[in-house]
């Protein structure tokens, strides 16, 4: 805390100098598309308002389907035309494949080891192949169809039991447990929670915490100069979520490896964890234990986000 005030003063001085230089420096023709006039330091952040999608639609009628916005120190190009979006996302997808990485997901080098955030590269192609063949393949989904049907039946039985007893219950919570156990059986061949247990609430809080922190506007993303200060505490909270999930997944991996040693032979690949471990033990494999943890973090969060939108 004793260094916080001097650091803040230095930051204010640097920002002030930058604003003065930018104000009196001769203007050069902009290489960016047209856009609304921006304010010093904050840019067009205030222009977006509480409904940014509506604001962008209105601005596109003034400045056209391609416009530039200044969000803090970050220049953003906004595309608001189906034709231009097709040019960017389909015809020139390789050029625009990179994405801005939120500061809160840089912990544990997640952005360097996750198929979600990596730019096209050899590692990205390896992870994409693992996801396509071991996680989201038709064969993998077909092999777990019976399990998913069983989990849905368990949900229906639970709802029926509660209704017959005249007891109130949270249908969203029950649905979340069904999704949780369906995914956990696909990945790890085990249930993570039960309808009469409170364990699912903690896991749900972690997953939704990660989703909220990754999606919540963070001042550091607009003003990287404040990264060390972490004024909103986003990195601190995300660090806690990541540590809990990594410790949990690492424990499952350690237990599976222990069972393999006891059996003195590799188990047949039945779930995603076994399939990924098989890849990890291949000669000259790029799949490491750290990579497996990052893969599970990204895949599980993505599947939960897609599934739980149905219930919340």
pLDDT digits (tens, 9 = 90+) for 199-233: 667 777 887 788 788 778 888 998 888 888 888 89
Q: Which of 137-141, 173-177, 184-188 has the lowest mean pLDDT?
A: 137-141
Burial status of residue 4 (CB atoms within 10 A of its CB: 0-12, 13-18, 19 or more): exposed
Q: What is the pLDDT of residue 289?
A: 86
Residue 65 and residue 94 in contact, taking contact as beta carbons nearer than 8 Å: no
pLDDT of residue 3: 45
pLDDT of residue 304: 67
Indicate if the pLDDT at residue 309 is higher than 90: no
pLDDT tens per residue, range 80-130: 889 999 998 888 888 887 778 888 888 888 888 888 888 888 888 888 888
> Which of 222, 196, 186 is closest to 69 using CA atoms?
222
Please report the domains of the chain, with CATH numbers, ordered by start residue: 30-96 (no CATH), 124-308 (1.10.630.10)
- pTM over the 0.75 mark: no
Mean pLDDT of all residues in 287-309: 76
Give the integer Cα–Cα distance in Å for 124 and 97. Answer: 12
How confident is residue 10, by pLDDT bands cut at 50, 70 and 90?
low
pLDDT in the model for residue 59: 92
Long-range contacts from 174-179, C-beta under 8 angstroms, 24+ separation: 175/310, 175/311, 176/200, 176/204, 176/308, 176/311, 176/312, 178/151, 178/152, 178/154, 179/304, 179/307, 179/308, 179/311
For 231, the token pair is: 């004024």
| pLDDT for residue 63 is more than 80 | yes
Strand-pairing partners, residue 70, are 75
Average pLDDT for residues 240-260, to the nearest whole number? 89
d(CA 184, CA 206): 15
Q: Is the pLDDT of residue 264 over 70?
A: no
Q: Which two tokens stand for residue 162?
A: 């509660």
């Amino acid at each position: 805390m004793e260094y916080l005030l001097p650091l803040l003063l230095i930051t204010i001085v640097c920002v002030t100098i930058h604003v003065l230089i930018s104000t009196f420096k001769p203007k050069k023709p902009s290489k960016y598309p047209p856009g609304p006039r921006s304010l010093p330091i904050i840019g067009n952040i205030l222009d977006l308002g509480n409904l940014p999608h509506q604001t962008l639609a209105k601005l596109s009628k003034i400045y056209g389907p391609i416009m530039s916005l200044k969000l803090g120190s970050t220049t953003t190009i906004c595309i608001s035309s189906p034709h231009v979006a097709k040019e960017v996302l389909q015809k020139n997808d390789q050029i625009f494949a990179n994405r801005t990485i939120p500061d809160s997901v840089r912990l544990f080098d997640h952005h360097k080891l996750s198929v979600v955030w990596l730019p096209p590269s050899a590692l990205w192609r390896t992870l994409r192949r693992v996801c396509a063949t071991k996680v989201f393949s038709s064969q993998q989904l077909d092999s777990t169809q019976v399990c998913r049907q069983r989990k849905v039946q368990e949900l229906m039985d639970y709802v029926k039991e509660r209704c017959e007893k005249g007891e109130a219950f949270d249908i969203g919570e029950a649905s979340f447990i069904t999704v949780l156990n369906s995914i956990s059986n696909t990945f790890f061949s085990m249930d993570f929670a039960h309808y009469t247990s409170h364990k699912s609430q903690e896991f749900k809080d972690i997953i939704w915490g990660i989703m909220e922190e990754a999606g919540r506007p963070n001042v550091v993303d607009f003003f990287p100069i404040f990264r060390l200060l972490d004024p909103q505490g986003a990195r601190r909270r995300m660090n806690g979520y990541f540590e809990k999930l990594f410790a949990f997944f690492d424990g499952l991996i350690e237990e599976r490896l222990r069972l393999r040693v006891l059996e003195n032979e590799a188990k047949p690949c039945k779930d995603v964890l076994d399939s990924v471990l098989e890849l990890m033990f291949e000669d000259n494999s790029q799949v490491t234990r750290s990579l497996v943890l990052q893969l599970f973090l990204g895949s599980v969060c993505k599947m939960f986000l897609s599934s739980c939108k149905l219930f919340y």
